[in-house]
Chains A and B, each alone.
Chain A
Amino acid sequence: MAGKYRLKSGEVPAESFFLEICGLNKAVVELNRVCKDYGGQRALSDISLTVADGEFLSLLGPSGCGKTTLLRLIGGFEDCTRGSLLIDGQAVDQSPPEKRAVNTVFQNYALFPHMTVFDNVAFGLRMAKKPAAEIEQSVAQALELVQLAGMERRRPTELSGGQQQRVAIARAIVNKPRVLLLDEPMSALDHRLRKQMQKELKQLQRTLGITFILVTHDQDEAFAMSDRVVVMQHGQIEQIGTPMEIYEEPVNLYVARFVGDINVLDGVIREQTGPSTFKALVEGAAVSLKSMRPLSLGQPIHLLLRPEDFRLELEQDMAESQDLSAKFQQARLKGTVRRIFYHGATYDVEVALESGARVQVTEFFDDDSENLYFKPGDSVALGWHEGWEVVLPHEK
């Protein structure tokens, strides 16, 4: 766990700052306070988002959170009920999909079944009335890029799911769009193929330098591929940030729970000891916390900790070693090991705290010991690496 980089609490870079550090100053897609209603139902409310040129952005959320609607809005398949949408600085609210420099890889690929692979990929170029020689060359290049050279004469129905997806990608990128929209493109692939396609897509995005906007409900996928992730819920953006920010500095319980395992402990602020340091009572134990948030005395809080954020030691070891107990100065919760879950490189320890709360702790195997260090029934001390905690105001 050592060497885990983390931003100081609350140090969330502003969007413009992000664009600067990535050398991506130009905005390709801009949404300003966009709303979308379907027959009185609000699908998207007040979405403001800037997508930088060359960026890989993921829209992450459960089904029905509005991420696909947002993608369709950018693609031109839906109109904004309110707000404005700009692509390359031009308002495109009124432009139909065929007039937008945006192409989509559809969830089911939507390949034309009556056309060969070549005709599928050439479709956009033919619509743009490109000369035949150029079309031939561009299609060959695009198929080469997605490793489908030689498949020109096949029909989509003769291809595997992975190959169909490659055709769908080639069909989109051959038009050299400013933005490529990907609507859960990997959802129909099996686990291994999905991992491979993720790598290839990321590689492709680097090669082409095209802005990618990916819709997914898979946190791993979003994190593995994206420069930035937009976490959505109920038609609203909950948080925008780099995968690391989203994971380590979730702005609320929803985001925290959606991206990976997390332990939520309840507590109350007791005392402010510095500009960003507090003393609090968490699950019955007095602890010190760091947070950039303005927290008032007596305020109920959530304390969020990832399973790998914890320190866990046996109580009997603690009694024997001064050095060890020194690491638990800021926080020392008492508990009992309940269960162990073996995962290969790591193992999870389920600990019941004295307060009754249960937490999951991820431990790595020691270099010099192949045995599990903890066993059910052990009395343990639970702390965490200083500053790795996230403090949120208590949510109902």
Chain B
Amino acid sequence: MKNSSSFRRLLIGSTYFWMAGLALVPYLILLGASFLERGEGALVSSHVTSANYLHLLSPTVFSMALDSIGLAGIAALLCLLAGYPFAYVLAQSSAKLQPLLLLLVMIPFWTNSLIRTYALVMMLKADGVVNTLLLAAGLIDAPLQLMYTPLAVFIGLVYTLLPFMILPLYAALKAVDPRLLEAGRDLGAGRVQNFIKITVPLTMPGIIAGTMLVFLPALGMFYISDILGGARSMLLGNYIRDQFLVFRDIPMGSAASVTMTLAMGLLLLLYHLASRRLGKEMLQ
């Protein structure tokens, strides 16, 4: 008994250790750096300032951030629209078919997402697979400009992030008791009404989780907009990356990171409060 409990403590303890060592400490360093100034020779100087945060509010950076949020929002919406039907079919399919379909969702993860993004270039470029097929089918006369458009960025984001939408939706849909849907039918609801009144509200946690899991990375996935969108669309992720790697302005990049994290945290908090309040109202 004692052995197993100390083993358990070791397992749980090591998790905390990794969390602290690999997430908390670096983040505290980031937080500290965001209040410093850019150093001449060293990475940072020891002068404390809030100038970095003020700079984030300048019109250029602010509008870039808004664009970035809009882009990530649309990407999340597209993932939801594409992912829900798939997750629905997945959850409804036979017990034999489900592991296979899940495997199909997982397989792309076996390849590095950067490599997959380059593969998308092969698909989307002027003499790529898509244009070749469309030309061969006679649907278009000249190659479409797909690369370096917002469309290409959306394609890239949705392609990369779709599994993060499908998996929580699948879990939420699997958890919906089919007997509730039978009860709905029994009480006069058709399939569509059942879906709207029962399935969607009951899978709302999955919808929120999936949307968060897509929206948050979409804000930061700089390489997708770099590779597929060219220099045209600047995302928050690109901005942060540039601060660190191009301009070597570590405090500025840190401030942007911290702000983004805080914004995400605020979003999660709002959702949490809203759902709790909704729950309370229903109780009264």
**A positions within 8 Å CB-CB of B:** 75-77, 96-98, 102-104, 106, 108, 110-114, 116, 123-124, 127-128, 153-155, 158, 171-172, 175
Contacts and interface: CB of A to CB of B under 8 A. Distances in A.
A96 B192 CA distance: 13
A187 to B, nearest CB: 14
B283 A153 contact: yes
A97 B283 CA distance: 31
A104 B202 contact: no
Interface of B: 177, 179-180, 182-190, 193, 197-198, 201-202, 282-284
A98 B186 contact: yes
B214 to A, nearest CB: 24
For chain A, what secondary structure do more than half of its interface residues adopt (helix, strand, loop), or is it mixed?
A: loop
B173 to A, nearest CB: 14
Given A110-B177, A153-B284, A76 B185 contact: yes
A98 B190 CA distance: 6
B187 A171 contact: yes
A338 B68 CA distance: 89
A291 to B, nearest CB: 46
A123 B185 CA distance: 11
Nearest to A114: B201
B86 to A, nearest CB: 23
Contacts, number: 66
Nearest to B198: A112
Given A108-B179, A114-B201, A103 B187 contact: yes
Nearest to A171: B187
B186 A97 contact: yes
Contacts of A155: 282-283
A154 B61 CA distance: 49
A128 B189 CA distance: 8
A230 to B, nearest CB: 22
B128 to A, nearest CB: 46
Contact of B282 (A111, A153, A171): A153
Contact of A103 (B179, B186, B190, B198): B186
A104 B183 CA distance: 8
A96 B198 contact: no
A127 B179 contact: no
Contacts of A77: 182, 185-186
Interface centre among B180, B193, B284 (most CB of A within 10 A): B180
